[in-house]
């Protein structure tokens, strides 16, 4: 890595930040995040960043607002301390689902977050499997989205029962699910989902034959577990035999998400460590680390001559 590269890890996922730093062979620089009794926060950089290329590793994981403001505060501190560039490494990008106006008199929060990041002084964003690709259009700065699908497929190799079909739980995930299906050499089934509220969804159609088949349901993120639970129920109703296995990049697993999925027959879940991984009550949990992928993304963003990308023709 170049000598002017500085890495900071925010408080959202310190274990992942440490792992990325180890992969890069660059230590995390000291910093402090102080939270005040009224809910405000500030950060203090423990070294000079003048003319440096700074990477701040901070998924905007729950509590999303706190971690987002912390990232913005890091960027502002770097900008005011004359950093040459500030790259936000955001393995999980909160608010990405707010990418359109659902009805009238509502905001487009994803666009708002992009504007806040630019205003704070972020020069580039590096993320993984963001909810919707159109997010890139909200930024005027470069945004790179890395894919965890090859890593997840690597973890799934050899653990899927004979006859498994890959399932996209909604139309928005068809492209990702197709990639899983192609990589794993499996057929694809697509569900059509109607969202009734923040916690309830309903499957309206199933495209594909799932009778007697085990299912691998794939998604970008699991929040309440509602999408997966409803999908498993609909698949069972259409004759799928189970077991139901789930693979997702971002395992937020809020509240009783795990119990909800387990009750609907999900036996095993494969996640990345984009957000701190908790145990998955009632299911077997396997995690794959994003550290090597993020480290390579950082090398490329830093224009490091030793990266695989730079060596490729």
Residues marked as catalytic: 193
Residue that is written with structure tokens 């085990």 in the block: 214
Q: Is 234 in the site for ligand R5P (CB under 6 A)?
A: no
Task: Please give the helix or strand (H or E) that residue 5 lies within, else none.
Answer: strand 5-9
- Determine the interface stretch with ligand R5P among 23-31, 151-159, 164-172, 272-280 (rule: CB under 6 A): 164-172
DSSP for residue 172: G
Nearer to ligand R5P, 173 or 264 (CB): 173
The CB-of-226 to ligand R5P minimum distance in angstroms stands at 4
Q: Is 99 in the site for ligand R5P (CB under 6 A)?
A: no
For residue 70 the two structure tokens come to 């912390």
Q: What is the 3-state secondary structure (H, E, C) of 207-264?
A: ECCCCCCCEEEEEEEECCCHHHHHHHHHHHHCCCCCCEEEEEEEECCCCCHHHHHHHC
Q: Is 176 in the site for ligand R5P (CB under 6 A)?
A: no
- Determine the interface stretch with ligand R5P among 12-20, 78-86, 106-114, 223-231 (rule: CB under 6 A): 223-231
Q: Distance of CA 54 to CAs 57, 219, 259, Å?
A: 10, 31, 40
Considering only 43, 222, 245, 266, the residue that binds ligand R5P (CB under 6 A) is 222
The CB-of-12 to ligand R5P minimum distance in angstroms stands at 19
CA dist., res. 164 & res. 47, Å (int): 52
Residues in the chain: 313
Considering only 59, 214, 225, 251, the residue that binds ligand R5P (CB under 6 A) is 225
CB contact at 8 A, 145 and 153: no
CA dist., res. 68 & res. 58, Å (int): 8
Q: Is 172 in the site for ligand R5P (CB under 6 A)?
A: yes
Q: Is 168 in the site for ligand R5P (CB under 6 A)?
A: no
The CB-of-291 to ligand R5P minimum distance in angstroms stands at 24
User: Which residues inside 2-31 make contact with ligand R5P, applying CB under 6 A?
Assistant: none
Q: How far is it between the farthest Cα atoms of the chain?
A: 62
Q: Is 94 in the site for ligand R5P (CB under 6 A)?
A: no
CB contact at 8 A, 118 and 88: no
Where residue 142 falls (left for φ over 0; alpha for ψ -120 to 50; beta otherwise) is beta
Q: Site for ligand R5P (CB under 6 A): how many residues?
A: 16
Q: Is 98 in the site for ligand R5P (CB under 6 A)?
A: no
Q: Is 221 in the site for ligand R5P (CB under 6 A)?
A: yes
DSSP-based three-state secondary structure for 171? helix
The CB-of-248 to ligand R5P minimum distance in angstroms stands at 8
- List 217's β-bridge partners, or say none: 167, 246
Binding mask 106-135 for ligand R5P (x = CB under 6 A): -------------------------x----
The CB-of-126 to ligand R5P minimum distance in angstroms stands at 20
Q: Which residues bind ligand R5P (CB under 6 A)?
A: 97, 131, 169-170, 172-173, 201, 219-227
């Amino acid at each position: 890595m170049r000598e002017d590269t500085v890495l900071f890890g925010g408080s959202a996922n310190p274990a992942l930040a440490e792992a990325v730093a180890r992969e890069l062979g660059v230590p995390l620089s000291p910093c402090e995040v102080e939270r005040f009794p009224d809910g405000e926060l500030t950060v203090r950089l423990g070294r000079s960043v003048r003319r440096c290329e700074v990477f701040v590793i901070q998924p905007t994981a729950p509590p999303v607002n706190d971690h987002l403001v912390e990232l913005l505060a890091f960027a502002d501190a770097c900008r005011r301390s004359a950093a040459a560039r500030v790259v936000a490494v955001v393995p999980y990008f909160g608010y990405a689902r707010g990418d359109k106006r659902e009805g009238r008199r509502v905001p487009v929060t994803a666009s708002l977050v992009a504007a806040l990041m630019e205003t704070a002084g972020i020069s580039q964003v590096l993320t993984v499997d963001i909810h919707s690709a159109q997010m890139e259009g909200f930024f005027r700065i470069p945004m790179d989205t890395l894919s965890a699908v090859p890593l997840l497929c690597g973890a799934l190799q050899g653990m899927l029962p004979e006859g498994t079909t890959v399932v996209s739980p909604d139309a928005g995930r068809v492209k990702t699910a197709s990639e899983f299906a192609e990589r794993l050499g499996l057929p694809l089934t697509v569900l059509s989902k109607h969202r009734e509220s923040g916690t309830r969804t309903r499957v309206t159609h199933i495209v594909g034959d799932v009778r007697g088949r085990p299912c691998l349901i794939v998604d970008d993120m699991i929040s309440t577990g509602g999408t997966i639970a409803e999908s498993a129920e609909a698949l069972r109703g259409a004759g799928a035999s189970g077991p139901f296995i789930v693979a997702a990049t971002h395992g937020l697993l809020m509240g009783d998400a795990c119990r909800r999925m387990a009750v609907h027959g999900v036996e095993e879940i494969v996640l990345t460590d984009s957000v701190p991984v908790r145990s998955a009550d009632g299911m077997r949990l396997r995690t794959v680390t994003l550290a090597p992928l993020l480290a390579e993304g950082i090398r490329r963003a830093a224009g490091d001559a030793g990266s695989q990308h730079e060596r490729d023709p």
